[in-house]
Structure 1
Amino acid sequence: MRKGVIILFGTLIILLFGVQCTFLEKHFQDPFAKETYILDLEGIKTRGFIRAAVDNNSTGFYIYRGRRMGYEYELLRDLAKRLGVQLNLVLVSDIDKAFEYLNDGRVDIIAMNLETNPDRESKATFTSPLGKISTVLVSRENESIQSWEDLQSDTVYVRHGAIYKSQLCKIKDSLQVDFMVMESPLHEESLIDQVVEGEIKYTLADQNIALANATYYEGLDIKWKVTDAENVSWVVRDNSPKLLESVNQWLEDKQKQFIPMLYAKYFLNSKNSYFRSTSPFSSLAGNRISVYDELIQEGAGELGWDWRLLASLVYKESRFDTTATSYAGAKGLLQLMPVTLERFGVENPNDPTQSLMGGIRYLRYLDKFWMERVPETNERIKFVLASYNIGHGHVEDAWRLALKYGANTQSWKDVASFLELKSDPEYYRDPIVKSGFAKGHLAVNYVKDVLNIFESYKALVEP
């Protein structure tokens, strides 16, 4: 009796969640829908940054030799520049969760290649199309099919939340073919990996993702088209008409040259795809940022920092180039000025060990300088980074101004607002200001840039 109940229960589970084309799915909606967050373009500009949901895959967003790369990443960076704001990326692997994040305000735009369907259109607004993409069946060459009937009694695994399952349901219903469709929490590329390893026989993917993977997996068959090419778009909240208008105008301006150029770079250049996806210095294949990771980790230990934060600073300063020299004469991995090189014992700034350890000693000095005034570590790091960029005298001036005007001197946000005012005569001529005029907004943006790189490294590289 007990065995019969277990078999019956298992059968029900497969019917409800395996076949995918269920009455429940079509007719029942989420009873816990929440009120949509409200923030349009003006609010985004006031806030100073746009949050975008992106996939972490071999084409969307990843780290390669310390540099942030990806088709969607480069598009978003250009869009943010057009809007005059910073770019904050939020990695979201679950498509349904991306819509949830959009409507509760955790992101402002979903930058994934999404096809429209009634369910998605009920949750948000689609932008103008970025292009057309078809869906393909992915298998090993020895498992390739010649007709849908070849899938009889087999199983196709698809990414949860993607449109693939509804595409296969239509085919099953119209052709009356009996194969199983199983949803998986894994990304398309992880499912392709399982196909390659022989763990599963079939999966579905957008043709561009399949093409990118076929460049470095021999014996992968991607010829069988599930659908003809259909429009794919990004998504914004229903109550963001100004953002939608700006994104659509940007897309129109970029369709002739910029978007096709990026598409060729990420999907049509097989050599580049191979090296990005197999290099130990790519977040897609390894867990390294640069050839100097061990040295950076040692230095970060002396500072008490996450090594990926120090790597972010090195990337911002020199792109890991030991021979880099700025227009002002700063040299080495951490771009130290001649007087700083001498003060902190660096004889050869092109030597990575000397350069990095000299920079570490300087950073320790700055940390000690701010420790009493800003005891909270994470806030103090922002003061240290700004001081590293513009000089601690200018940041101390901003701290004094914050004290004078009753702001919170332990808050980087408050002190940064006065640092930005140091190009205004009313403030830099104040008697309490000792270091005079400064383009403080550049240092504020510098801190944001380093921390944005750090957030990317944290998301994609293990500690």
Structure 2
Amino acid sequence: MNKKIALSLLSALILLPLLGCDQSSNEQQRRDTIDNNASVVDGKKSESNAPTSDANTAQLNTKGEQKHKEQLTAARSWDDIKRTGYIRALKLNFELEEALPRSYSAAAYHQSLLENFALEHQLTIKWVSAGSLNDMLEKLNTFQADIIARHLTVTESRASKIQFTLPVSSSREQLIIASHAPKPNLEQSQSITLLPGSSFIETVKENFPNWQIETFNGGVSSDDIANLLSERKVELTLLDESTVNTLLDYRQDIRVIKTLPAIKKQAWAIHPNAPALLQQLNNFINAHHLSSPTEAKRTADLDNIKKQKRPLRMITRNSPETYFLWRGELMGFDYDLLKEFAKRQGVPLQVIVADSYQQMQDLLNDGSGDVIAAGISRTEKRQKNSQFSIRYNRVNEHLIAHRDAAPITSLNDLNNRTIHVRRSSAFWMTLTSLQKKYSFNLVAADESLSTEMLIDQVDNRQIDLTVADSNLLAIEQTFRDDIVSPLVLKESIPIAYVVRENNPKLLTELNAFIAKEYRQVFYNVTKQKYFSDESQKKKLREERLLLGNQLSPYDDLVKPAAQAFNFDWRLITSQMYQESKFDPTAQSFAGARGLMQVLPKTASEFGFEQLTQPQEGILAGVTYLDWTRDRFDTKLPPQERLYFALAAYNTGFGHVRDAQKLAKQLNLRDDRWFNHVEKAMLLLQQPKYYKNARFGYCRGSEPVNYVRNIHQRYLSYLNLVP
């Protein structure tokens, strides 16, 4: 039998236990099947690892339902909100994991404003999901939430049902079509497809009364709408300008054919019977001078930015060192530092993504941004044209080689070797200086290749050598076993911020922030979060596979949890080993915790708080895996849906969707993981591809290896415990 066919049949057979159960049962029914007494660890009854009483178990089983099923018969008053310490805000299902903001994002802007409001009043936000705009309004009017904090267009019909705050933003509306579609004659009758329940329906009826209006099925995101346009499944739609601009940041397959002249006011909405809450929100809007989040290019200094409550605009790169999206969380060393700086200055932070240092300089100089924070090395050449802060970091320049390549012990060993770096990088200057004395080949790499991609090429033996700074080397060695740094080419290179010369107050405050925080607790914790080398720690972890018919110390907890959500318990055990090596106290660089390494924010969304308790940590992880599986099309083959769910668990649903879309563009199958979508996932490490992806940069090798390792270990577990 053909080997590939045999492997496919084996894969299908071993997945049969995963596919035999009806997946339509609701979460409460699943939880009710969990064994109340499943708390045996290493053959002994646990007294601390898991709740054992009926009351505790009942509490655990209903946590996920408490969040969204708070039954009230009246709107909560401001006093109720303050007393309970939280405000319930509605969010569309597809916004549970936001796209990577490259410039202004309406959804991110309004979410950050609500977070600032909550912070001022010492409140937490409990997000309530909704499937559509109509669902949002229904949940607000049935008291399931306190506020819709998004760019909701103010209309007379809506104002008769809900209470609007003062305007928070404004936007025009734009007609868009596919880039390759012919422009329609707008004077003639057209068919236009619109979001159900949106204000766009009223706009079209008013401006184009003869047009035929269709609506999208269910809750769709703006990205989904762009996909439908690009595929010519719909021909024409209407969206607000801010949403279109966000799409155009990373898509070239749609275009604007008309911008309607009317400026529409956008506001937040609450129930009409909450006047005190309305007053608090309006006070906040007035105090922060909120009216329009977008603005013309400006070169104002920090004092004017603070006075006018404008955002501090950070210019950076989408990269693993600076700014990226992981499991729905915006992260990055430079992003975290600037976010803290902006917080202390009392202004919001807005991120603008650029592709090169030259583009960063152009954005700074023309007033599109305020500060470059992208791991920029302060060199003599660059200082002639730019205003740098004092250093906030130091790095070394490391030569990168494959572990099995010819050894390099001194600079003399570089003779006749070949080094690839980008001509625009600071490494080029270092190497051209060294080339005066040593006879190595210096090759200008394609400017579209990031340093991490050049390291990947060394790892795969495609090129001989490259150069990287010590921060990126630390990140890469966390994920790669075959790269080494035989030489340090240059030591103690200062990394600094770049500002305009006419912004002395911003420069002074940045320098003061650096001087205060450099190598102090906040700085050290942030730096260690991203650049500590975990590879050695991973190698030293105990391989805690047990003998006999027990795979882990927590089999008796995993089995009922897996059964409740229609998973094979051996698969969950394999995933648990991959996540934590069976260590319930494990914590990742990003703060994911417990046996299944769930982020506290994500766990809280599902009603779990004690992630280091084995039973709760396992149930939180299985619940989250089930949630990721449910987000993929039920028409997918069940085993493929599971692979996609595992990949999404590791890196985030959005990155997997990006990979599916890219696979389709590359004539690969978007409904198969192995050898299809996983290939596209690997390409999302390359600027050429992630620049056009909604969720941006993704270390694609991580989810690819994650799914493969879990799958292979699962096969082994089936042999150990049939």
Q: TM-score, normalised by structure 2?
A: 0.33
Q: In 2 relative to 1, CA 168–112 (structure 1 residues): closer, same or farther, beyond 3 Å?
A: same
Task: Describe how 1:219-298 pairs up with structure 2 within 5 A.
Answer: 219-255=482-518, 256-270=520-534
Aligned partners of 2:412 and 2:438 also within 8 Å? no
Residue 479 of structure 2: SS of its match in structure 1? coil
- Report how far residue 38 of structure 1 moved: 2.9
**Alignment match of 1:323 (pick from 591, 606, 611):** 606
Question: 1:68 is matched with which residue?
Answer: 330
Q: Deviations over 1:400-456 (max 9, x none)?
A: xxxxxxxxxxxxxxxxxxxxxxxxxxxxxxxxxxxxxxxxxxxxxxxxxxxxxxx99
RMSD of aligned C-alpha atoms? 3.3
Q: In 2 relative to 1, CA 149–199 (structure 1 residues): closer, same or farther, beyond 3 Å?
A: same
Q: Deviations over 1:341-367 (max 9, x none)?
A: xxxxxxxxxx979x99xxxxxxxxxxx
Q: In 2 relative to 1, CA 145–58 (structure 1 residues): closer, same or farther, beyond 3 Å?
A: same
Letter in 1 for 2:417: D
Q: How many residues align?
A: 261
Question: 1:78 is matched with which residue?
Answer: 340
How many angstroms apart in 2 are the aligned matches of 1:261 and 1:210?
A: 18
Between 1:117-126 and 1:242-251, the stretch displaced more is 117-126
Question: 1:184 is matched with which residue?
Answer: 446
Residue 375 of structure 2: SS of its match in structure 1? strand
**Alignment match of 2:696 (pick from 452, 460, 463):** 460
Residue 349 of structure 2: SS of its match in structure 1? strand
Aligned partners of 1:91 and 1:459 also within 8 Å? no
Q: Deviations over 1:236-264 (max 9, x none)?
A: 11111000001111111211221111111
How many angstroms apart in 2 are the aligned matches of 1:47 and 1:149?
A: 57
How many angstroms apart in 2 are the aligned matches of 1:49 and 1:240?
A: 15
Letter in 2 for 1:51: R
**Alignment match of 1:204 (pick from 467, 470, 476):** 467
Percent identity, please. Answer: 25
Aligned partners of 1:135 and 1:225 also within 8 Å? yes
Q: In 2 relative to 1, CA 137–82 (structure 1 residues): closer, same or farther, beyond 3 Å?
A: same
Q: In 2 relative to 1, CA 112–82 (structure 1 residues): closer, same or farther, beyond 3 Å?
A: same
How many angstroms apart in 2 are the aligned matches of 1:159 and 1:262?
A: 28
Bigger proportion of residues as helix: 1
Q: In 2 relative to 1, CA 457–39 (structure 1 residues): closer, same or farther, beyond 3 Å?
A: farther
Aligned partners of 1:155 and 1:182 also within 8 Å? no
Q: In 2 relative to 1, CA 249–260 (structure 1 residues): closer, same or farther, beyond 3 Å?
A: same
Task: Describe how 1:362-373 pairs up with structure 2 within 5 A.
Answer: none
Bigger proportion of residues as strand: 2
For structure 2, list consecutive stretches of 5 or more residues without a partner in the other structure.
1-296, 539-600, 610-625, 632-690, 699-722
- Report how far residue 319 of structure 1 moved: 4.1
How many angstroms apart in 2 are the aligned matches of 1:63 and 1:273?
A: 24
For structure 1, list consecutive stretches of 5 or more residues without a partner in the other structure.
1-35, 275-317, 327-350, 357-454
Between 1:235-244 and 1:256-265, the stretch displaced more is 256-265
Aligned partners of 2:477 and 2:535 also within 8 Å? no
Q: In 2 relative to 1, CA 78–244 (structure 1 residues): closer, same or farther, beyond 3 Å?
A: same
- Report how far residue 269 of structure 1 moved: 4.6
Q: TM-score, normalised by structure 1?
A: 0.51
Q: Deviations over 1:83-136 (max 9, x none)?
A: 211111122231121112111122211112222223311222111111221100
Aligned partners of 1:153 and 1:180 also within 8 Å? no
**Alignment match of 1:98 (pick from 360, 372, 379):** 360
Residue 238 of structure 1: SS of its match in structure 2? coil
Question: 2:381 is matched with which residue?
Answer: 119
Question: 1:44 is matched with which residue?
Answer: 305
How many angstroms apart in 1 are the aligned matches of 2:459 and 2:445?
A: 18
Q: In 2 relative to 1, CA 157–456 (structure 1 residues): closer, same or farther, beyond 3 Å?
A: closer
Letter in 1 for 2:495: V
How many angstroms apart in 2 are the aligned matches of 1:183 and 1:325?
A: 48
Residue 153 of structure 1: SS of its match in structure 2? coil
Between 1:200-209 and 1:92-101, the stretch displaced more is 92-101
- Report how far residue 160 of structure 1 moved: 4.1
Q: In 2 relative to 1, CA 352–232 (structure 1 residues): closer, same or farther, beyond 3 Å?
A: closer
How many angstroms apart in 1 are the aligned matches of 2:469 and 2:381?
A: 20
- Report how far residue 40 of structure 1 moved: 1.2
- Report how far residue 150 of structure 1 moved: 2.7
Residue 489 of structure 2: SS of its match in structure 1? coil
Aligned partners of 2:317 and 2:323 also within 8 Å? yes
- Report how far residue 184 of structure 1 moved: 2.9
Residue 433 of structure 2: SS of its match in structure 1? helix
